[in-house]
C-alpha cells in the first residue's frame, strides 16, 4: 500500500519534469540548430529578406536622403522595405550620420529595443570613418567595433539609389546566410 501511495505522489513531479506526454520540451536550441542546416532556413530567410523594415531615425544629411528613399519617388515598398517609426517594429537600423558621445548610449538602447533578427547598416562616410567630422571633439569613431554592421554605403551623402543598392546587398547576404544579424 505504502509503495503505491509513494508512486501516486511522485507521479505529478514526473510530468512536470518530463512534460506532457507527446510534447517534447527542451531547453537547448537543438531544433533550431537542426533547422538551420535544412532548406527550412532558406524559406525563413526568404521571408526575412523580403520584409526589411527600417527605423526612421534621421541623424544627419543622410537622414534626409533616407526619408526621400522611403517616399513616393524611390518607393522602397516594392522591395518590402518600409519605414517604421518605432524600434520595436523595425528590423534594420540605419546609422545615418555621425555618432556623438552624447548620442551613443541612446543608440545602443535603440539597438537593444529592436527584436531579433535585426541588422544594422552604415549610411554615409560619417558613420564609416568619420567623414568630414573625423577630427571633431564630439564624435565617436570606429562604429564598426560597437555594432555588427552588415553593409556600408559610402557617399556624403549617398544618393537614394545607392541606399537601395545597399538594401539589395543586405538581401543577398541574408539569402546566402552570411549576415551578422542571425547565427548560422
Partner 1 sequence: MDVAEILKSLTGAFPEAISEATAESEIRARSYVDKERVREVCQYLKDSLQFDHLCSVCGVDYIKRNELEVVYHIASYDHPVVLTLKARLPRENPEIESIVSVYWNANWYERETYELFGILFKNHPNLKPLVLPEDMLGEWPLRKDYEGFPNKTARNLV
Partner 2 sequence: MEEKLEPNEMIVHLGPQHPMQPGPFRLNLRLKGETVVDADIELGFIHKGIEKILENKTYLQGITIVDRICYLVALVNEECFVGCTEKLLGIEPPERAQYIRVILEELTRIQSHLLGMGEFGEFIGFVSMFMYTIREREEVLSLIDMVTGARITHSYLKVGGVRDDLPDGFKEKALSVLNNLKKSVDDFEEMFHTDRIFRERTVGVGVLTADAAKNLGVSGPVLRATGVPFDIRKNEPYLVYKDLDFKVCTETAGDCFARVQVRINEIRESIYILEQCLDQIPGGPLFPEGTLYGRRTPVMRVPAGEVFHRVEDPRGEMGMYMISDGSDKPYRVKIRGPYYPTLQALPPLIIGTTVADVASISGSMDGCTSEADR
Q: Which is nearer to partner 2, 41 or 56 (CB)?
A: 56
Residue 141 touches which of partner 2, partner 1, none (CB < 5 to 8 A by kind)?
A: partner 1
**In the window 26-45, what residues touch partner 2 (CB under 8 A)?**
none
- Cα end-to-end distance, the chain, whole Å: 55
> Taking the CA atoms of the chain, what radius of gyration do you get in angstroms?
23
Site string for partner 2, 76-105 (x = CB under 8 A): ---------x-x---------xx-x-xx--
Per rule CB under 8 A, count of chain residues that contact partner 2: 34
Rounded CA-CA distance 87/163 in Å is: 20
104, 97 contact by CB (below 8 A): no
Q: Which three cell numbers stand for residue 29?
A: 536550441
In the complex, the smallest distance separating the C-beta of residue 73 from partner 1, rounded to whole angstroms, is: 34
Q: Give me the helices (H) in 55-159, please.
A: 61-70, 104-113, 125-129
Q: What are phi and psi of 124, to 5 degrees?
A: 95, 160
In the complex, the smallest distance separating the C-beta of residue 140 from partner 1, rounded to whole angstroms, is: 8
Residue 165 touches which of partner 2, partner 1, none (CB < 5 to 8 A by kind)?
A: none
The residues binding partner 1 (CB under 8 A) are: 101-102, 129-130, 134-139, 141-142
Residue 132 touches which of partner 1, partner 2, none (CB < 5 to 8 A by kind)?
A: partner 2
Contacts of 133 (CB under 8 A, 6+ apart): 98, 126, 139
41, 72 contact by CB (below 8 A): no
The residues of the shown chain that bind partner 2, judged by CB under 8 A, are 55-61, 63-65, 67-68, 71-73, 85, 87, 97-98, 100, 102-103, 106, 110, 132-133, 135-139, 156-157, 159
Amino acid at each position: 500500500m505504502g509503495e503505491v501511495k509513494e508512486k501516486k505522489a511522485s507521479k505529478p513531479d514526473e510530468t512536470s519534469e518530463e512534460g506532457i506526454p507527446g510534447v517534447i520540451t527542451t531547453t537547448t536550441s537543438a531544433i533550431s540548430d537542426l533547422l538551420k542546416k535544412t532548406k527550412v532556413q532558406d524559406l525563413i530567410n526568404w521571408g526575412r529578406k523580403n520584409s526589411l523594415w527600417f527605423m526612421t531615425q534621421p541623424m544627419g544629411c543622410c537622414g534626409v536622403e533616407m526619408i526621400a528613399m522611403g517616399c513616393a519617388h524611390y518607393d522602397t515598398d516594392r522591395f518590402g522595405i518600409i519605414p517604421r517609426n518605432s524600434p520595436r517594429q523595425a528590423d534594420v537600423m540605419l546609422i545615418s550620420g555621425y555618432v556623438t558621445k552624447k548620442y551613443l548610449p541612446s543608440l545602443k538602447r535603440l539597438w537593444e529595443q529592436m527584436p531579433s533578427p535585426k541588422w544594422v547598416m552604415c549610411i554615409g562616410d560619417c558613420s564609416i570613418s568619420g567623414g568630414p567630422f573625423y577630427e571633431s571633439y564630439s564624435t565617436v569613431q570606429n562604429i564598426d567595433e560597437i555594432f555588427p554592421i552588415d553593409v556600408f554605403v559610402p557617399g556624403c551623402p549617398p544618393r537614394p539609389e545607392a541606399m537601395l543598392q545597399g538594401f539589395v546587398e543586405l538581401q543577398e547576404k541574408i539569402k546566402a546566410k552570411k549576415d551578422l544579424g542571425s547565427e548560422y
